[in-house]
Structure 1
Amino acid sequence: MRLALRSLALATVLAFGSLAMTVDAQTVAVPTYAADGTLLSVSAQAEARRAPDIATVSAGVVTQAADANGALRQNAEQMAKVVAAIRAAGVAERDVQTAGVNLNPQYRYVENQPPAITGYQASNNVNVIVRDIAKLGRILDALVANGANQINGPTFDIDQKEPVLDEARRAALEKARKRADMYAQSLGMHVRRIVSIDETGGASIPRPVPMMAMAKMARDEATPISPGENVLSVSLNVVFELGK
């Protein structure tokens, strides 16, 4: 019986050891290449441009009163009108998110005396996503008309980035392949295959709108908005195998 248990324990250790070796081999797998091959690492960057189709703006209300309750109550009443204006503009509930509610005492400072509270300031801010940029100027005007006294933004973005990034990826890969072909031909070799691809980037960079479009928007009655265009950038590090 003791011999059987010892054999079972040994078999278990061997089984777990084999499993550990398999897992380690998978996690540290290194790409292989032919003995007569040469590895070439190429970096390439490409951009894809699109006009932004969404904008994010921060809108809020700041109020002051002699006591904390009064400042917060006034703020709530004024902010309710602002939120109602956002809803009336057709902004969906999922596109409105509270960014912060703050209540802070206001102090008077006199030399050689401790600070004295003179009142309280309350603030409430919401982040609003506008999916129809053509309406953004009028939405901002409506917010201010209904009590918003704090506006920040807008920040323009592209809602569906992946198709745009795919365009940049294809362009970067094509650029890397052409560069690899050039090196291979210079060495009297050819590109056998791609060993690995490492991607970085995906940043969205806003670009200014042309002056003609700005002048056209400036004639609008609403607050002028110039969305310009956004640039999505992708960088690739591609390792090629070259051979004769």
Structure 2
Amino acid sequence: MCVSFLLYTKFYETHIIESDIIKKGGIIMTKYMQDNNLHNKTMILTGHGEIATAPDTVIIRLGIQTTGENLSQIQAENARISQSIIQVLQRMGITDIKTHQYSIDKVYDYEDGRQIDRGFSVRNILEIRTNDLETVGNIIDASVNAGANIVDLISFDVSGREYYYQQALNMAILNAIQKAQSITMNLGLSSTAVPVKIVENTVMPFPVQREFAAVTPIMPGTVNIEANVTVDFVY
């Protein structure tokens, strides 16, 4: 569903066309802002739009954590296992592999209020991306068999997110307009509510995440893309 600002012409006697709209910093303002003498009442409404679509991309973060007293030894062990995981994935045709995190930390225990040095922990997390969602389970299983002992994230997302967001944004604007129409009609107002400012409220995108399960397959589900706006109307 794609809704243009030209839809406003269906709702108002005074047409608002695309050339009348100025958008800057997430705020859409119309030239009616300059015509304050025509209206003296304001109402502020919110609008919400949401698009659900099937994901086409998966991001997997997994890796190896090794611990021990000898730092050089556990670093070498970590590197060996990490390389083994990478080779297994490459044989599966996975090419988009990069290091997401590499860290070395001291490990301590506490007994009777005393801090006891237990050595070091080396953690190497790889990030894998693929568009073949059916291979997710195989990627996890193959990595674990190669020595991976951490699965941090399985996240499904959609490419072309901006395209879907624009649809959701248009739906949010239309939702606010429909609210304004309903309010003016139910209050018996003869005047028409005209939008004079639209503020785009940022919604942080959260790709669909799945917890790791020892038994695959892993189902991707859907990705919801949302938009919210605050609209000032005069009437």
1:229 corresponds in structure 2 to 222
SS at match of 1:196: strand
Query: In structure 2, what is the Cα distance between the partners aligned to 1:195 and 1:228?
Result: 39
Query: In structure 2, what is the Cα distance between the partners aligned to 1:207 and 1:144?
Result: 22
SS at match of 1:84: helix
Q: How does 1:169-184 map to 2 (within 5 A)?
A: 169-184=169-184
2:192 corresponds in structure 1 to 190
Counterpart contact for 1:104–1:122, Cα < 8 Å: yes
Deviation per CA, 1:114-155: give whole Å up to 9, x if none. Answer: 63x454332211122232211111111111121211112212
SS at match of 2:84: helix
Deviation per CA, 1:38-76: give whole Å up to 9, x if none. Answer: 333221112110122222221111223441111101111
| Matched length | 199
Query: In structure 1, what is the Cα distance between the partners aligned to 2:86 and 2:164?
Result: 33
Counterpart contact for 1:206–1:229, Cα < 8 Å: no
Give, in angstroms, the shift of residue 207 of structure 1: 7.0
In structure 1, runs of 5+ residues without a counterpart are: 1-29, 210-217
1:126 corresponds in structure 2 to 126
Deviation per CA, 1:98-124: give whole Å up to 9, x if none. Answer: 222223344565558763x45433221
Deviation per CA, 1:178-230: give whole Å up to 9, x if none. Answer: 22223344311124x43111011434456799xxxxxxxx9xxx721011112
- Change in Cα spacing, 1:62 to 1:33, as seen in structure 2 (3 Å) is same
Q: Matched residues, percent identical?
A: 22
Counterpart contact for 2:44–2:233, Cα < 8 Å: yes
- What is the identity, as a one-letter code, of the residue corresponding to 1:202? V
2:98 corresponds in structure 1 to 97
SS at match of 1:202: coil
- What is the identity, as a one-letter code, of the residue corresponding to 2:104? L
Query: In structure 1, what is the Cα distance between the partners aligned to 2:58 and 2:179?
Result: 38
1:74 lines up with 2:67 in the alignment: no
SS at match of 1:31: helix
Query: In structure 2, what is the Cα distance between the partners aligned to 1:208 and 1:118?
Result: 34
SS at match of 1:165: helix
Determine which structure has the larger helix proportion and give its number. Answer: 1
1:56 lines up with 2:59 in the alignment: yes
2:22 corresponds in structure 1 to none
In structure 2, runs of 5+ residues without a counterpart are: 1-31
1:136 lines up with 2:136 in the alignment: yes
1:3 corresponds in structure 2 to none
2:24 corresponds in structure 1 to none
- Change in Cα spacing, 1:195 to 1:146, as seen in structure 2 (3 Å) is same
SS at match of 1:80: helix
SS at match of 1:179: helix
